[in-house]
């Protein structure tokens, strides 16, 4: 099969480690131009030297919640690669604080990071897709905890809102051939660990499992008629939570 990703350009947020890093490496291996963002300086990330030394790669450090930084990121990306075909909104945070311990600034930061920043970054990227007649793809990394309480109310509530944003954007952008989908991972660890709650093999998933799903959803040969969907990647963990209902 023809390499759909060769020569295309992808922008991925939150790429320093784990899922984000794996996504970047997978796209890079497909001969894609890769632009990545992380709040950490590059020397504190796990990004490979092979990517850092490549002309097909651009690293940008900054806080994605900053309007000025988002404008800078997009400007630098378009100056280097002229267009963006795929956007992966991977960055996300959670405080792990209980309901009564939640403070306004913590909730505000989670909303800004998990919902507001991805919204407006996607808005800008989608506009250039429309202007350049790119039938692009936008992906949001959600969570199974968008539907299942986690004891981490800022994280779960913002991921739930993100799921509706996927559907709203898919509805509005479909006319331009832009597809918008989400990925809802369950327990993801590198390497996998035993977890008796997970029906499929009693083990957690890996960053590779998430990256594989993203490659599927952004490939117009394989998923050209899929939009507005949230694909769960959890080995059946959600079924464990639902078992008594």
Residue 1 domain flag: no
Determine the pLDDT at residue 1: 59
In a domain, 115, yes or no: yes
Check residue 245 and give its pLDDT. Answer: 57
100 — phi, psi (to 5°)? -75, -15
The CA dihedral of 170, 175, 176, 181, to the nearest 10 degrees, is 20
What is the domain extent for residue 222? 9-242
Q: What is the pLDDT of residue 38?
A: 97
pTM for this predicted structure = 0.97
Radius of gyration of the chain (CA): 17
Sign of CA dihedral 14, 17, 20, 21: positive
Encoded tokens for 182: 């989400």
Residue 144 β-bridge partners? none
**Is 3 among the domain residues?**
no
Residue 48's pLDDT band, with cuts at 50, 70 and 90, is very high
DSSP class of residue 94 equals: -
| Residue-wise pLDDT tens digits, 126-183 | 999 999 999 999 999 999 999 999 899 999 999 999 999 999 999 999 999 999 999 9
Pairing verdict, β 86-89 and 9-12? parallel
221 is catalytic: no
Q: Alpha-carbon distance 187 to 153, whole Å? A: 17
Give me the number of domains the chain comprises: 1
- Residue at 2 is within a domain: no
Q: List CB contacts of 90: < 8 A, sequence separation 6 or more.
A: 12, 13, 14, 15, 19, 20, 23, 141
Residue 201: which CATH number?
3.40.50.720
Mean pLDDT of the chain: 96
Q: At what angle do helices 104-111 and 153-173 cross, to 10 degrees?
A: 30
Cβ distance 80 to 58 under 8 Å?
Answer: yes
Condensed to tens digits (0 to 9), the pLDDT of residues 58-92 reads 999 999 999 999 999 999 999 999 999 999 999 99
Catalytic site residue from 69, 155, 221, 225: 155
Assess if residue 4 is contained within a domain.
Answer: no
CA distance 7 to 206: 27
The stretch 11-22 carries a mean pLDDT of 96
In a domain, 96, yes or no: yes
Rounded to an integer, what distance in angstroms lies between the CA atom of residue 163 and that of residue 140? 8
- CB atoms under 10 Å from CB of 146, counted, come to 21
Q: Indicate if the pLDDT at residue 203 is higher than 60.
A: yes
Q: Taking phi first (over 0 means left), then psi (-120 to 50 degrees means alpha), and beta for anything else, what does residue 169 get?
A: alpha
């Amino acid at each position: 099969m023809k390499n759909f990703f060769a020569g295309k350009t992808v922008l991925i947020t939150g790429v320093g480690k784990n899922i984000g890093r794996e996504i970047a490496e997978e796209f890079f291996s497909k001969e894609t131009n890769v632009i990545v963002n992380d709040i950490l300086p590059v020397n504190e990330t796990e990004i490979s030297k092979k990517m850092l030394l490549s002309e097909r790669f651009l690293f940008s450090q900054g806080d994605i919640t900053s309007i000025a930084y988002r404008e800078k990121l997009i400007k630098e990306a378009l100056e280097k690669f002229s267009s963006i075909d795929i956007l992966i909104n991977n960055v996300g945070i959670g405080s792990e604080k209980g309901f009564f311990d939640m403070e306004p600034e913590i909730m505000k930061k989670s909303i800004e990071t998990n919902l507001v920043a991805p919204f407006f970054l996607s808005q800008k990227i989608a506009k250039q897709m429309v202007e350049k007649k790119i039938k692009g793809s936008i992906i949001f990394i959600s969570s199974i905890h968008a539907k299942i309480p986690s004891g981490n109310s800022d994280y779960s509530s913002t991921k739930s809102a993100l799921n509706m944003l996927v559907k709203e954007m898919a509805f509005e952008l479909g006319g331009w051939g832009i597809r918008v989908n989400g990925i809802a991972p369950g327990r993801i660890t590198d390497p996998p660990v035993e977890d008796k709650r997970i029906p499929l093999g009693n083990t957690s998933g890996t960053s590779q499992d998430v990256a594989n799903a993203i490659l599927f959803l952004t490939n117009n040969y394989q998923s050209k008629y899929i939009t507005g969907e949230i694909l769960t990647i959890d080995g059946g963990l959600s079924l464990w939570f639902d078992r008594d209902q």
